[in-house]
């Protein structure tokens, strides 16, 4: 649309007069979700791709008449990873009737936990936030709905075990960002080292990780059988390019879920052929849902961003979370068709999602009032120079260990704050 100065001024004046109301639909059957996210500080392109996928999926669902008769309206805004801004956005969205909040930021999610629990607003912490929030009894309104970092660690190690048959005497190296987030998976790796007989060596690098030149030669000297690098944002790209520079074998290097096509573009698509990562949702454009989005949303010019990003890893994670939220709304509407739309209403819906695959895009996700992780299933994918190709079927492993860790911290959480 063309905007000249007159329309701009007129509309500015009009909105000033009418107050800061966001577009509202004529019907009453609306579920509002709030997505204050970080577009500008730390997660940047991750958020942009995630939000694009999320918006496109909601457009798809709403154009078809919504989920369970309810349209889902998302209010997306920037919080710049700044706690006061996030709290303002949270409080404003709460006032506007949002029943689900998706901040996509670990620090913000941690800061919002007490408020979400108190206000009974569902807070989605996709692949972020507190890992122990998988315990639905301690955190009834905090919803990871995705495999936490402990599960990801457990699955990666299990994949190595599948490949090498036996990990006894092997050496596994963990290169991680030196923050609480980076150190989070270490207990799982250590516990599994005791169980499976491999030796673990850790190499922390200083945050934010744009210089790791001193670490990787040491990694090479350690002659590891497997390497795992654990970080976020720019640290991941740098880690991978340092690994390439040090001539490490790419097919023995692996990452948590935070690695995408965008990182590969930076490092060099061919240079990092063979790299392994954990996948929570199918990537690429093959899944049926992505095909539907391409034809019904993007094809009709309603896409929320560049078409080239459709089907990238983070885009698909956005689709995944939108799909799970929509399924939660559908379940909630099944239970109580006439609402009223509140946090507890949606909570009951989300907590009764069972074996939801979004038409083959996800492993069967089952959320219960105990398990907010959704089952902890994922798969391993390998970069083949053009895309991440799945190496395994959806599977889960070492959940007993993960859950003992979850319980340990959730018990502590229950005791604290009293």
Partner 1 sequence: MLYRRAGIRHTSYRHERMLWPLPFDRYLVGTIAAFLIVAPFLIDRLYLVAYLLPWLIWSMAALGLNLLMGGAGQIHLGYGAVMAIGAYSSVHLVRAGVPFEIAMIAGGLASAMIGVIFGFAALRVKTLYLAMSTLAMQYIVDFVIAHVPAISGGTQATIQVPPVRFLGLRIEGDIATYYFALAVCTVVTLFMLNVHRTGFGRALAAVREKDYAAEVIGVSTFKYKLLAFWTSSFIGGVVGAVLVVCYLRSVSPDQFHIDLSVQIVAMVIVGGLGSVLGSFFGAALILFTPIVLNNLVASIAAGAGLSLSSDLRAHIPLMLYGALIVGFLVLEPLGLAKIYDNVRNYFLVWPFRYARK
Nearer to partner 1, 138 or 353 (CB): 138
As a whole number of angstroms, the distance between CA 348 and CA 330 comes to 11
Nearest 5°: phi and psi at 229? -115, 140
Residue 216 CB, shortest distance to partner 1, in Å, is: 22
Residue 362 CB, shortest distance to partner 1, in Å, is: 23
Q: Which residues bind partner 1 (CB under 8 A)?
A: 1, 3, 7-8, 11-12, 14-15, 18, 20-23, 39-40, 47-48, 51-52, 55, 76-78, 80, 82-85, 87-89, 91-92, 95, 106-107, 110-111, 113-115, 130-132, 178-180, 183-184, 187, 304-305, 409, 412-413, 416-418
As a whole number of angstroms, the distance between CA 121 and CA 404 comes to 27
As a whole number of angstroms, the distance between CA 337 and CA 344 comes to 14
Nearer to partner 1, 114 or 268 (CB): 114
Nearer to partner 1, 111 or 244 (CB): 111
Nearer to partner 1, 207 or 344 (CB): 207
Residue 22 CB, shortest distance to partner 1, in Å, is: 5
Decide: 179 and 206 in contact? Cβ < 8 Å.
no
Residue 72 CB, shortest distance to partner 1, in Å, is: 16
Residue 407 CB, shortest distance to partner 1, in Å, is: 13
Residue 93 CB, shortest distance to partner 1, in Å, is: 10
Tokens 């989920």 sit on residue: 67
Q: Which of 104, 99, 106 is nearest to 141 (CA)?
A: 99
DSSP labels, 177-204: ESSHHHHTTHHHHHHHHHHH--EEEEEE
Edge-to-edge strand order for the sheet containing 276-279? 199-205, 171-177, 226-230, 253-255, 276-279, 379-383, 388-390
Nearer to partner 1, 48 or 276 (CB): 48
């Amino acid at each position: 649309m063309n905007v000249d100065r007159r329309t701009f001024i007129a509309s500015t004046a009009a909105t000033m007069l009418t107050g800061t109301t966001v577009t509202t639909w004529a019907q009453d059957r609306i579920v509002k979700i709030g997505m204050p996210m970080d577009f500008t500080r730390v997660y940047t392109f991750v958020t942009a791709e995630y939000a694009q996928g999320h918006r496109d999926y909601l457009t798809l669902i709403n154009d078809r008449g919504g989920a369970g008769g309810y349209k889902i309206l998302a209010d997306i805004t920037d919080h710049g990873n700044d706690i006061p801004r996030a709290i303002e956005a949270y409080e404003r969205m709460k006032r506007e009737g949002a029943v689900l909040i998706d901040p996509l930021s670990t620090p913000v999610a941690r800061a919002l936990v007490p408020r979400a629990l108190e206000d009974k607003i569902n807070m989605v912490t996709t692949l972020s936030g507190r890992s122990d929030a998988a315990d639905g009894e301690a955190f009834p309104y905090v919803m990871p709905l995705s495999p936490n970092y402990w599960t990801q660690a457990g699955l990666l190690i299990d994949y190595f075990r599948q490949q090498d048959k036996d990990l006894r005497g092997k050496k596994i190296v963990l290169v991680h960002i030196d923050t609480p987030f980076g150190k989070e998976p270490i207990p799982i790796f250590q516990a599994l080292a005791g169980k499976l007989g491999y030796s673990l060596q850790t190499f922390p690098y200083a945050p934010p990780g744009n210089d790791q030149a001193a670490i990787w030669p040491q990694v090479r000297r350690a002659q590891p059988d497997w390497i795992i690098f654990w970080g976020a944002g720019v640290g991941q790209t740098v880690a991978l390019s340092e690994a390439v520079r040090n001539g490490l074998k790419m097919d023995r290097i692996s990452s948590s879920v935070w690695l995408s096509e965008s990182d590969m573009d930076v490092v060099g698509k061919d240079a990092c052929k063979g790299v392994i990562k954990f996948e929570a949702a199918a990537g690429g454009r093959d899944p049926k849902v992505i095909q539907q989005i391409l034809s019904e949303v993007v094809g009709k010019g309603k896409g929320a961003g560049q078409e080239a990003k459709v089907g990238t890893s983070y885009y698909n994670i956005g689709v995944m979370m939108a799909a799970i939220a929509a399924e939660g709304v559908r379940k909630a509407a099944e239970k109580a068709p006439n609402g009223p739309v509140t946090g507890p209403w949606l909570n009951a819906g989300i907590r009764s999602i069972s074996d939801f695959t979004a038409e083959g895009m996800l492993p069967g996700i089952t959320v219960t009032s105990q398990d907010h992780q959704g089952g902890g299933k994922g798969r391993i994918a390998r970069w083949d120079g053009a895309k991440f190709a799945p190496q395994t079927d959806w599977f889960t492993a070492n959940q007993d260990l993960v859950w003992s860790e979850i319980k340990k911290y959730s018990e502590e959480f229950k005791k604290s704050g009293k």
